[in-house]
């Protein structure tokens, strides 16, 4: 069944409380230009009225998720209405082609509608009806937020320890997110209290969450405590602040662990889960991010996917002064990060490590070699997702025959 050609193109600039819609006919006539409340009843009435008066409608938004989720869901449920979205980068470039430099909702909505009418190749399809992807996108977003909060709390806690006792921070800092360390700092937040407690109590406290690490870490802690005899100004205040940060950090880590269980359940229920997990370096969180950023979008080939992710090198040439390929600055940063981290995690895998080492031998820096590896893995990932096949190691070239051919 083919999708009918739209008779009306609606550009919707979404907002928190109100949207602005501009509707153009196929001939370019403006038939609607008003603000719309973020309300299902009103949105549905406008869409059905335009479809009844003119024919098939294409609704195009600039944000298909978050504040744009309701208009998209309403449009998906209306007969005679299709939905698409205009990526932000394309929107900015198209806006530069229009006269004027004002930034208004009405202007943005008109630009979206005109782009949908005259440049349909710039649009991307939307599949918000896929409940798994919608749920996964929300969970992955919450996971990213928790990860950022954990990093902020960890840095703050390490900063305080560095201020009052640098040697102790060098021991505990790298393990600051370990439950045993957070619990220890909550109970004994200053060097003085650790010394007063003594090795026995510290070891017993650590053993609750880290039985194997308790003895060796206790020795390292008291070796570090012996390296500083002076009490730095602010240490008493740290006795109040450190337990608060330690409790906050422990709570965030527990919340992220509970969320990871939900993410894993949703990822495992998706049909592409076995395909993604079969590739070395891709775990549950990486698979979740790939699903949310790739599923429902159409890519002509692996190069388009790599360009969308921002890992395809950009060629820049201008006469004889500027030549070469450079890392792109744009792209989908969430997908780029997921592909980069999965490439890093795959370095334990033989073929991936060999490719990375080869790039390093060619003079590339660590990050450059990882991006090159991520780009190479994207070719494989694209084929796996396209065909629904599991990962297979590359077949090594056959060894040369030892039998010499005689002329």
Residue 35 belongs to domain spanning: 8-128
191 and 71 belong to one structural domain: no
- Dump pLDDT digits (tens) for 257-281: 999 999 999 999 888 999 999 999 9
Q: What is the three-class DSSP state of 58? A: strand
The last residue of a domain, from among 95, 128, 161: 128
Q: Are residues 177 and 246 in the same domain?
A: yes
Please check whether residues 221 and 239 belong to one and the same domain: yes
Residues 208, 181: one domain? yes
Mean pLDDT, residues 124-137: 71
Q: Which ranges of 270-349 does DSSP label H, i.e. alpha helix? A: 273-277, 284-294, 302-309, 333-345
The answer to whether residue 403 is domain-embedded is no
Q: Tell me, what's the pLDDT at 101?
A: 65
Residue range 26-79, pLDDT digits in tens: 999 999 998 888 889 989 999 999 999 999 999 998 877 677 788 888 988 898
Same domain, yes or no, for 334 and 380?
yes
In a domain, 114, yes or no: yes
Domain total in the chain: 3
CATH label of the domain that carries residue 113: 3.30.420.10
Residue where a domain stops, chosen among 210, 238, 265 = 265
Share the mean pLDDT of the chain.
87
Question: In this predicted structure, which of 83-97, 164-178, 372-386 has the lowest mean pLDDT?
Answer: 83-97
3 assigned to some structural domain: no
Q: Calculate helix-pair angle for 235-269, 191-207, nearest 10 degrees.
A: 30
Q: Does residue 406 form part of some domain?
A: no
Burial of 300 (0-12, 13-18, 19+ CB in 10 A): exposed
pLDDT for residue 407 = 38
> What is the pLDDT, as a whole number, of residue 129?
47
Which DSSP category does 97 fall into?
T
Give yes or no for residue 296 having a pLDDT over 60: yes
Flag whether 198 is in a domain: yes
Q: What pLDDT is attached to residue 105?
A: 84
- At which of 109, 128, 147 does a domain end? 128
Same domain, 199 and 306: no
Q: 229 and 259, same structural domain?
A: yes
Query: Against a cut of 0.75, is the pTM above it?
Result: no
Q: Is residue 277 domain-shared with residue 261, that is, in the same domain?
A: no
Give the model's pLDDT for residue 72: 85
Question: HSE on the CB side for 243, CA within 13 Å?
Answer: 10
Whether residue 380 sits in one domain with residue 291? yes
Q: 117 with 213, same domain?
A: no
294 and 233, same domain (yes or no): no
- Is there a single domain that holds both residue 140 and residue 261? yes
Contact between 132 and 265 under an 8 Å Cβ cutoff? The reply is no
Residue 253 pLDDT exceeds 80? yes
Position 405 scores a pLDDT of 43
Q: Name 174's Cβ contacts closer than 8 Å, sequence gap at least 6.
A: none
- What pLDDT does 90 receive? 75
């Amino acid at each position: 069944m083919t999708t009918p050609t739209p008779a009306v193109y609606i550009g919707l600039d979404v907002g928190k409380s109100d949207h602005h819609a501009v509707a153009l006919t196929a001939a370019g006539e403006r038939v609607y230009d008003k603000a719309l409340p973020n309300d299902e009843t009103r949105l549905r009435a406008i869409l059905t009225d335009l479809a009844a008066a003119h024919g098939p409608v294409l609704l195009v938004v600039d944000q298909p998720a978050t504040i744009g989720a309701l208009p998209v869901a309403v449009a998906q449920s209306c007969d005679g209405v299709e939905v698409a979205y205009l990526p932000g980068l394309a929107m900015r470039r198209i806006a530069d082609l229009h006269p004027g430099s004002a930034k208004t909702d009405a202007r943005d909505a008109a630009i979206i509608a005109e782009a949908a009418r005259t440049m349909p190749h710039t649009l991307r399809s939307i599949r918000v009806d896929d409940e798994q992807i919608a749920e996964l996108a929300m969970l992955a977003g919450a996971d990213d937020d928790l990860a950022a909060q954990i990093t902020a709390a960890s840095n703050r806690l390490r900063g305080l320890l560095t201020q009052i006792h640098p040697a102790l921070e060098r021991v505990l800092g790298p393990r600051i997110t370990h439950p045993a360390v957070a619990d220890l700092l909550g109970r004994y937040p200053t060097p003085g209290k650790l010394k007063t407690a003594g090795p026995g109590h510290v070891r017993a406290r650590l053993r609750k969450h880290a039985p194997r690490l308790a003895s060796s870490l206790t020795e390292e802690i008291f070796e570090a405590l012996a390296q500083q005899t002076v009490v730095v100004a602010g240490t008493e205040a740290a006795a109040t602040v450190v337990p608060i940060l330690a409790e906050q950090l422990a709570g965030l880590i527990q919340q992220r662990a509970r969320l990871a269980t939900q993410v894993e359940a949703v990822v495992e229920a998706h049909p592409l889960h076995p395909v993604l997990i079969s590739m070395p370096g891709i775990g549950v969180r990486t698979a979740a991010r790939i699903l949310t950023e790739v599923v429902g979008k159409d890519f002509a080939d692996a190069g388009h996917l790599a360009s969308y992710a921002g890992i395809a090198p950009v060629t820049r040439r201008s006469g004889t002064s500027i030549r070469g390929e450079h890392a792109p600055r744009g792209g989908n940063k969430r997908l780029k990060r997921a592909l980069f981290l999965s490439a890093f995690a795959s370095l334990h895998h033989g073929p991936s490590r060999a490719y990375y080492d080869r790039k390093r031998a060619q003079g590339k820096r660590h990050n450059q070699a990882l991006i090159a590896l991520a780009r190479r893995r994207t070719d494989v990932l694209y084929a796996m997702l396209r065909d629904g096949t599991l990962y297979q190691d590359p077949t090594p070239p056959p060894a040369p025959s030892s039998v010499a051919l005689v002329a």
